[in-house]
Amino acid sequence: MRSLSFAACLLACHVFFCASLVRAADSRPIIDMQHASWTAKDGAPTGITAITQTADGWLWIGSAMGLFRFDGVRFERMSGAQAPLSSSIQSLGLLPDGRLWITYKFGGASLLSAAGMRHFRVGEHGMPGGTAACLGQDGDGRLWLAGARGLMLLGADGNWRVPPASMAASGGIATAMLLDNRGTFHVRTNQAVHALEKHGTRFMEGPAVVGYGKLAQHPDGSIWTSDTMRPGLHLVAGTPAAPMPDSASLGNISYFLFDHAGTVWMPNYNGVSRISAAGAGAFPAQRTGAGQGLSGQHGFAVFEDREQNLWVGTESGLDRFRAYQLAPVALPRYLAAARALAPRGAGGVWVDRSIVASAGASAEPYAPPSTSTDLTSALHAAPNGVLWSGGIGALWKIHEGKRMAVPLPPGLRDPATAVVLSMATDASGALWVGMGRRGLYTLRAGAWQENGGVPGLAGLAPSVIASDARRTWFGSTNDRLTVLEQGGLRTIGRADGVQLGTVLAILPTAQGAWIGGENGVAHVEGRKVTPVSGVGDDPFAGTTGLVFAADGSLWLNGGAGLSSIAPAELRRALSEPGYRVRFGRLDYRDGLQGTASAITPFPSAVSSTDGALWFSTMGGVYTFDPARLPRNRVVPPVHITALKADGQDYPLRDGLRLPPRTGELNIDFTALSLRAPERMRLRYRLDGLDQDWHEVEGRRSVQYASLAPGHYRFRVMASNDDGLWNETGAQLSFEMLPGLAQTTWFRVLCVLAVLLLAWLLHRWRLARLTAQLQVRMNERLGERTRIARALHDTILQSMQGIILHLHVARGALPEGNAVRARLGQVIDDADQAYVDGRDQVSALRLSPAGDIEDAIAEAGECLMRDHPRTAFQLRTGGRRVLLRDLVAEELGEVAREALRNAFQHAGASHVEVTLEFGLRQLSLAVRDNGKGMAPGAGEGRWGLVGMRERVARIKGKLAVDGAVAPGTRIVVKVPARLAYAARRRWWWPS
């Protein structure tokens, strides 16, 4: 019954405090903050009851649909190891130690940490039944549970139990707990608020309460509670720095929150309301409901994140409120859409017909209220302190508080409708006035002169004029910029790279000028024109105002809002053609209403002497000091949220190994900056594949197809809406395992197989060519053999007969006869010719198979017949192998030459030839037992030079040893791979 009554009390509490606000709801102004909402169509949960944020940046949402987390873009329902105990979540919050606690409408609680989800089910571990209001942690780290049965304490054994009586914990229904910044633990029951100091052993009873309510700490350190039975907020502890709003303005409330500025936020049945404390900056109560864009009718939860966004949960979705960075200057009503601006020497600016001394100051009129024919179309503050004000058919001079009309140039066609579009004062003090198609004039010493007396300016209809100490610039239509300087007139146009359409803004610099127009922005120096665009190919289109801030950054007033480019980015843009600059932007999301006017007045951006920048849009005039703009200093956490390979999810851990031949790899990531997630910039890189970083636009995932096997590391970084980067980011390393055909050893085998196939093809081709050559060689050798046989049977036989006849004739002559001696010489020459012819015939008879043994044997036997006293012997060793034709021919000639030397000159009685067919080499040795020869004695004799040349031709080696006892040895060695026609295999038997 007690748990049921507690639930009923909670329900009554909601109904009571929300219904109490219905009465005055509609009379309150809307909350003046930037507002965004998400509903079911955006994926948001419904029935949101609690919101909090964890240290990793995630926004956690408890709802009737379960537990969700939100990154500013996508809602993710928690499942698996992070699934809640029940989808009916009562509340959730963050413990000081970083754990997320969750309670449920029908009892039970959970704790979510890096280790996973820990559940406390009703009836287990001492968990009481009934709805648990919340969990809390005291200053000593002990965990408490507040609920219908009062307080419960989690023991060291993991079981809940009633705290000991010595702690004097209240026995009432506990509805809220709070650990303040001093370490004191506060507990609110339906009777009183109790406090337990850090290291304390006993609760101290505080102020009494009547109904149910919450606890909250104000930024000044004071502790407050609400009470459903009493209107207003009630002080629990501390001393407030400023009075709270009166009770009547708050009514009876239950749930409330103090934001960073001390403003009270209250969700209720009319939506959400806020009211500030008394003092500077106080504002009346404001409310936003469904009629003003809230996601639902009723607000149930409110939370402020670390970027000072306020989140509201309703029955239909989620809402975010963010303070505007810009607010329009309060000005009198004006008939035109945009207002002319000019800087004021005494500080502040001139705005159409008013003076605004500074931001926040009231506008003071310097001229009568405007009429439809008395509008300010252009303002120009001259260096001498004179303000020139142009309108329709009129020009005024304002000086020392006096406003004087100045007649327009005489002869001006239809002067009543001429509009002053732009003005500038040159170095001589002359006022240049551009009136569009009506002409260009100068006013000097009260006299008008058309085109300033410069013939080249005739027909020019400038849209904007600017001047510095050296030059006067005129911007026109059709990409035209005209410069009047001491050296004359210069026109820069489309041929030089100007592609802005109509030039609408000119900002002179020491080197040249920045120009803006319909189509973008560019820098001009001499005739060099450098167009500038932003990341994402932002063209900065519609720029009608250009102004430098004190830090050197360039601010642009254009169609997309107010853009700023840092000095370093400007320098890089000018030195690297095509570079896309990083830029900041203020637009409607920051409170900017309207955009720069595309017609008049120009310029739409100026700076005042106090460093403030002023911008005119069709929605108002805005001013701020860029150095004082609130910046988001929270570095956005970056997370890799999922990795999926071929549709299968994998755990996010380093060293992950993915299966071979993974076709599609998806990686999801996010960055958590909740203030303006649409302005965040993310970039990623896959080490092992990507050479550069890739910018992400909109999406927060990347897909890879058919990654090659290897090690990879995925990295992602992000910046918040103010360009503050998380350079560390998040990273995940993984390995793509190779398939069989992707392994190194398989590829090596494939390479070897290809090489083997190529070698076999080569050998086959070589064998074919060898066979063809062998056929031809056999034909040639057959012909040689036929010729040798014919020579032997005819010429040699005939020659031998002639020699015998000569011997007979010589013998018939007496001794001492001169003819006999002469005939003997002829016989000797004939014998030598016969021997030489016989040797050549023997060479012609060398067989095509390279039968070198037969050739050597035949040569030895022939020589032995001529030298019967010398014995000849041929020895062979190894398995006989067919020789290459060239080797057989050359080696045969070497053997014959060596044998001739041995038989004819060595005086040997025995000559031996050894032919060895070895595995590594073919060797030929010719040895005799003759007289030998001294080292080097035969180098130029006995045919040694010819033998060396023949051996060199077959890439062999020749050695001559004349000091062998007794005789001489000649050795020739030829590598087997060069000598044998067929390569010998060591494993093949001999």
Residues 698 and 798 both lie in one domain? no
Among candidate residues 809, 828, 845, the one where a domain is terminated: 845
952: enclosing H helix or E strand: helix 944-953
Per residue in 324-339, pLDDT (tens digit) is 989 899 888 877 778 9
Residues 962 and 861 both lie in one domain? yes
Mean pLDDT of 201-222: 93
CA separation for the pair 102, 69 (Å, rounded):
13
Mean pLDDT of 583-611: 90
Angstrom CA distances, 204 to 19, 163, 212, 633, 808, stand at 34, 14, 19, 40, 160
- pLDDT at position 234 over 60: yes
**For residue 970, what are the β-bridge partners?**
926, 960
Per residue in 118-137, pLDDT (tens digit) is 999 999 999 998 889 999 99
Residues 980 and 957 both lie in one domain? yes
- Closest by CA to 884, choosing from 851, 906, 835, is 851
Q: What pLDDT was estimated at residue 221? A: 95
Sorting pLDDT into bands at 50, 70 and 90, what band is 8? Answer: very low
Token pair listed for 588: 């409607």
Q: What pLDDT was estimated at residue 852? A: 85
- Closest by CA to 974, choosing from 857, 895, 859, is 895
- pLDDT at position 519 over 80: yes
Is 351 domain-assigned?
no
- Total number of domains in the chain: 5
- Torsion angle of C-alpha atoms 339, 345, 348, 349, degrees rounded to 10: 0
Task: Give the CATH number of the domain where residue 927 resides.
Answer: 3.30.565.10
Residues 181 and 56 both lie in one domain? yes
CA separation for the pair 488, 483 (Å, rounded):
8
Residues 180 and 288 both lie in one domain? yes
CB 975 within 8 A of CB 938: no
Q: What pLDDT was estimated at residue 961? A: 84
The Cβ of residue 748 has, within 10 Å, a number of other Cβ atoms equal to: 10
Residues 166 and 277 both lie in one domain? yes
Mean pLDDT of 424-428: 92
- Closest by CA to 316, choosing from 634, 44, 663, is 44
Q: What is the phi/psi pair of residue 301, to 5°? A: -145, 150
Angle between helices 852-866 and 818-844 (to 10 degrees): 160
Q: What is the phi/psi pair of residue 968, to 5°? A: -130, 150
User: How far is C-alpha 823 from the geometric centre of its chain's CA atoms?
Assistant: 105
Q: What pLDDT was estimated at residue 845? A: 57
Residues 54 and 172 both lie in one domain? yes
Is 798 domain-assigned?
yes
CA separation for the pair 260, 304 (Å, rounded):
8
CA separation for the pair 902, 904 (Å, rounded):
6
Q: What pLDDT was estimated at residue 964? A: 64
Residues 28 and 120 both lie in one domain? yes
Sorting pLDDT into bands at 50, 70 and 90, what band is 522? Answer: very high
Token pair listed for 719: 């910046």
466: enclosing H helix or E strand: strand 464-467
Q: What pLDDT was estimated at residue 400? A: 84
Long-range Cβ pairs for the range 776-783 (8 Å, 24+)? 777/848, 777/885, 778/848, 781/846, 781/847, 781/848, 782/848
CB 977 within 8 A of CB 983: yes
**Domain, as residue range, for 57:** 2-321
The Cβ of residue 877 has, within 10 Å, a number of other Cβ atoms equal to: 11
Q: What pLDDT was estimated at residue 10? A: 42
Alpha helices in 64-156 (DSSP H): none
- pLDDT at position 806 over 50: yes
Encoded amino acid at 79, one letter: S
| Omega before residue 328 within 30° of 0, cis | no
Per residue in 482-510, pLDDT (tens digit) is 999 887 899 999 999 999 999 999 999 98
Mean pLDDT of 199-218: 92
The whole-chain average pLDDT of the chain stands at 87
Lowest mean pLDDT among 194-208, 459-473, 521-535: 459-473
Is 411 domain-assigned?
no
Q: What does 916-945 look like in DSSP terms, one character per residue?
A: EE-SSEEEEEEEE-S----TTTTTTSTTHH
Among candidate residues 689, 721, 742, the one where a domain is terminated: 742
Task: Give the CATH number of the domain where residue 654 resides.
Answer: 2.60.40.10
Is 357 domain-assigned?
no
Is 104 domain-assigned?
yes
Task: Give the CATH number of the domain where residue 446 resides.
Answer: 2.130.10.10
Mean pLDDT of 869-888: 89
Q: What pLDDT was estimated at residue 280? A: 53
CA separation for the pair 454, 470 (Å, rounded):
16
Residues 295 and 158 both lie in one domain? yes
Is 394 domain-assigned?
no
Mean pLDDT of 819-833: 80
CA separation for the pair 207, 22 (Å, rounded):
29
Residues 737 and 754 both lie in one domain? no
Is 401 domain-assigned?
no
Among candidate residues 742, 758, 787, the one where a domain is terminated: 742
Residues 872 and 804 both lie in one domain? no
Is 330 domain-assigned?
no
Per residue in 904-941, pLDDT (tens digit) is 888 889 999 999 999 999 999 999 998 877 665 555 45
Q: What pLDDT was estimated at residue 27? A: 57
Residues 109 and 248 both lie in one domain? yes
